[in-house]
Structure 1
Amino acid sequence: MSINKRAELYIWLLLYSVHLIFTCEAARIIELSDRFLEYKDKDVWLVKFYAPWCNHCKRLEPVWSQVAQKLVNTDVRVARLDCNKYTSLAQHFRVGGFPTILYINKDKVVDYQGERLLSPILEFVRRVHGPSIKKFSNCEDMRKILDSGDRDNRQASFVLATHPEGHGEAGELVKNFTEHAEHMYAYNYFIDVPIHCVDESKDHSWIYVHKDGAFVPYNSEKYQLLDQFIISERFPAFQRITYANFRQILATRKMLVAAVLEENQIGRLDTMRMEEVRDMLEALAENTKELYHDKFLFGWFPSTEIPYSIAMTELRLPSVIVVDPETYKYYLSSSADDPEDIIKLLDAIDKADPLPPSFGGNTLPYRIYRSYFDVSQNLKNMYRSSPVLTFVIFLIPTAFFAAICYLTCCSDFLESSDEDEDELEEEDDDHEKTD
């Protein structure tokens, strides 16, 4: 290698090293202190509130580093705050659990309620950064938003298609759309685009939902209020179901048809059969939208915690479960692999002539037993993951409690023995005096 080429190589390596240093420096997570309130209004922040002893916080740490790297060239600063050290700040932002992720832009504070994974966190930042309604004059810019998100985290988007001559008879509807966007934009996109991007046949502005690759107009006869439309239509035909969205899915008041599956530690389904069941149920959801859309919502559980809690027992894997959001009763398909069997079950539930056998519920006895079952499952999972730690955690308090009980009982016994001895001595003295 010639001297010139060698020198060029050294210079290139030096420049690349400097680039890496500055990139890593820029991507560093900012450690906040109690002075945060003094300078928080100067920037836009994405803050993780954590506690050093919190295992969920520790599991989030590598994801948080990836978030910082992805947002390095944006005006959103990624930070974290130790709530053990700075309890006053945790109280100021009303942090009720760990980890808590907040988007903070001056007086606007938005609580992240999604999964603690890279893709949904970044999608959340894109939604809440800027105005609650994203306004586009270009249809292509709208398409980029509508097509964003991966397979498991794609959400419905609500679109205000604006007519150039004004809103016309949709004036009040547009006002309601703006109000709902202020409350819901942390979960779904709210977009304002020209009417020709959606439907050129309309002679006034209108509202649509975009999901599963299609625009569906708001039906004022079917939904008397706009919020009913938004709540009912905010999820696609097939949805990944976790604690982050489970309650919101039940709020649609649609029966939940879900595959009970389990992911491994690297986020993949345990078996090929589970993948086949998920793909089959997704295809069933897509192909039966016209038939079941109004009553059923399809999805899949990536872990067993929620379905086991609903059933209050361990289900076979994979399974297909149908949950009534009102009563918490559930129905089980006899086969998780056969779409015909699932369709028969859904038809029987829909027609209710007669209803198939159901299990569980949400009455007081079931709620009490469910609480007991959840605690026992948590203890079992804790023991499976770390038997030694579980043993130590429960052994020390048990031994401490036993020691307290023992000392309390023994002290009473010893005191009573001492009193008896004193009484005997007094009696002996009395006898001696009498003699």
Structure 2
Amino acid sequence: MKTPAYFCLLVQIGKIVGQVLELDERILDHRKNGKWLLEFYAPWCGHCKKLEPIYHQVGAALRSSDVKVGKIDATRYTHVASEFDVRGYPTIKYSEGEKMYTFRGERSKEDILEFVNKAQGPAVRKIASIGKYYNVKSDHSDQVFFLYIGDEDPHDDLLVKYSEVADKFIVQMYFYSGKKNILPKDIKLKSYPTVLVFKDSEYFEYEAPDGIPTKSSLEFWVNTERYQAFPKVAGGNINDVAEMGKILVMVAIDENDKENEKVNSRIKDVITILAKHQKDKFHSRFQFLWMPDAETINSIMLSFAAAPVMLILDPETHYFYMPPFKLENITTENLAAYLESIKHGKEDAYGGTGFFMRVKRLFYDLLVMVVSVWQSSRWLFLLMFCLPTVVISIVCYSLCCMEPIDDENADEFDEDEDEDGYLLENRDDLPPAYDEQASIETPQAVKGHEKAE
């Protein structure tokens, strides 16, 4: 039996060589000891196979840190996956003591490492000088970050609420705090203390309702401002974006598609104009985003469309809308008019959560799973689908080709038995000569030919 000491020794050896540890159910006894980055995978999952080399790079990058990197076969240790609330493959989680966070970003080395950095905390990081402010702004030039400006009094009401909101969104974005003297002179504040958000090369200030800051209003403001005007979003992160409570204007654009390069550029330009330069019209109700492939959009439409493709999704009702115009003919005017029409409920919607859509999604998910298994491993596909099909076919063929019992012949046989005389139950009335067992085991001697004494 492998002891806990043996398990700890394997963990330390793995840390030294920068190896991703293959874990088992013993992780449940050690999950609260230190910091863990865990991947839950399935052997047949194509996305898991794509992530494998990237995840090993993450393990090598974290070799000198105090974060232990491991992976678990969720199909083999299902109770472990259930304990960690795993709902799909692959799933990456960070565990530290009682804290646990789920990674929802793009499955790249940089994004996973940034997730680990955020999860380790602190939730609110301090900026001590204007030089540090410029460093932070440079580091997050293409991201969103929030900044509390005040005297940093731990009892300040706004700072307390800001810290609580930062704890909730700790792995989604960065939160900072500092005094007023860290800001350049071109930033003008409307109130003090206050909270600023920096994104899209601009800054915006939190405005408390009726001048009184509340945790609910601050959390709502942070939630609606935590994405750029037109960000790139990975498929695994779509649920996080949906929590903003806005209608999502999603477009799939394949940057490697040279054939549709002009169309893709035109789509991006049109949406950027609406998202950034017509923010007053659409920011409160719509969130624009683009994705590098059409997989997520297809999973919503239950289709197999190729990029470029556009979808407008209402996450609250699960209804979606399809533009009536071709994307090569997109303009700021026709897209803006279409979004206004959706906003006022004048457009027909598709999807939803009705019975028919549930059945349709069940068959679609089954088809996608079969295709995924086929693409990941031909042998696994044969074992899972072809072999059971062959066995069932053989059984069905055997049942269909089995000769039926001829009842007429059976009746004739019974009649023959009756005509011949006695049945088995009348064996006691037969003479000894007809007793088969007696005739075999005790043959009768013939008179006059007995053996002499």
Q: TM-score, normalised by structure 1?
A: 0.75
Letter aligned with residue 228 of structure 1: F
- Distance in structure 2 (CA, Å) of the matches to 1:102 and 1:231: 22
**2:286 maps to what in 1?**
296
Cα contact 1:46–1:104 (8 A) shared by 2: yes
**2:245 maps to what in 1?**
253
Task: Choose which of 231, 254, 277 in structure 2 pairs with 1:239.
Answer: 231
Deviation at 1:329, TM superposition (A): 2.7
**1:158 maps to what in 2?**
146
**1:132 maps to what in 2?**
123
Deviation at 1:342, TM superposition (A): 1.7
**2:295 maps to what in 1?**
305
Task: Choose which of 276, 298, 311 in structure 1 pairs with 2:265.
Answer: 276
What CA deviation, in whole Å up to 9, does each residue of 1:287-316 have, x standing for no partner? 222321111111113222222233334446
What CA deviation, in whole Å up to 9, does each residue of 1:322-358 have, x standing for no partner? 2233331313151324333322322333455xx2454
Distance change in 2, residues 1:326/1:103 (3 Å):
closer
**1:287 maps to what in 2?**
277
Q: Indicate whether 1:207 and 2:192 are aligned.
A: no
**1:347 maps to what in 2?**
340
- Distance in structure 2 (CA, Å) of the matches to 1:166 and 1:393: 60
Task: Choose which of 178, 197, 203 in structure 2 pairs with 1:193.
Answer: 178
Distance change in 2, residues 1:144/1:33 (3 Å):
farther
Letter aligned with residue 132 of structure 1: A
Deviation at 1:420, TM superposition (A): 7.0
**Pairs within 5 Å for 1:90-239:** 90=81, 93-148=84-139, 154=143, 156-163=144-151, 171=157, 173-197=158-182, 201=189, 204-221=192-209, 225-239=217-231
Distance change in 2, residues 1:330/1:124 (3 Å):
same
Higher relative contact order (CA 8 A, sep 6+): 2
Letter aligned with residue 286 of structure 2: F
Cα contact 2:150–2:193 (8 A) shared by 1: yes
**2:441 maps to what in 1?**
none
- Distance in structure 2 (CA, Å) of the matches to 1:183 and 1:200: 28
**Pairs within 5 Å for 1:1-40:** 26-32=17-23
Q: TM-score, normalised by structure 2?
A: 0.72
**Pairs within 5 Å for 1:61-72:** 61-72=52-63
Task: Choose which of 72, 75, 78 in structure 1 pairs with 2:66.
Answer: 75
Letter aligned with residue 268 of structure 2: D
- Which SS does the other structure have where 2:111 is aligned? helix
Distance change in 2, residues 1:288/1:391 (3 Å):
farther
- Which SS does the other structure have where 1:240 is aligned? coil
Task: Could you tell me which runs of 5 or more consecutive residues in structure 1 were left unpaired when the two chains were aligned.
Answer: 1-23
Indicate the larger mover: 255-264 or 82-91.
82-91
What CA deviation, in whole Å up to 9, does each residue of 1:12-35 have, x standing for no partner? xxxxxxxxxxxx965443455666
Cα contact 2:154–2:160 (8 A) shared by 1: no
Distance change in 2, residues 1:339/1:382 (3 Å):
farther
Give the number of equivalent residue pairs. 398
Cα contact 2:22–2:70 (8 A) shared by 1: yes
Give 1 or 2 for the bigger CA radius of gyration. Answer: 2
Task: Could you tell me which runs of 5 or more consecutive residues in structure 2 were left unpaired when the two chains were aligned.
Answer: 1-14, 424-453
Percent identical: 27
- Which SS does the other structure have where 1:113 is aligned? coil
What CA deviation, in whole Å up to 9, does each residue of 1:98-136 have, x standing for no partner? 433222334433222322211211110121113222233
Cα contact 1:312–1:360 (8 A) shared by 2: no
- Which SS does the other structure have where 1:225 is aligned? helix
Indicate the larger mover: 118-127 or 324-333.
324-333
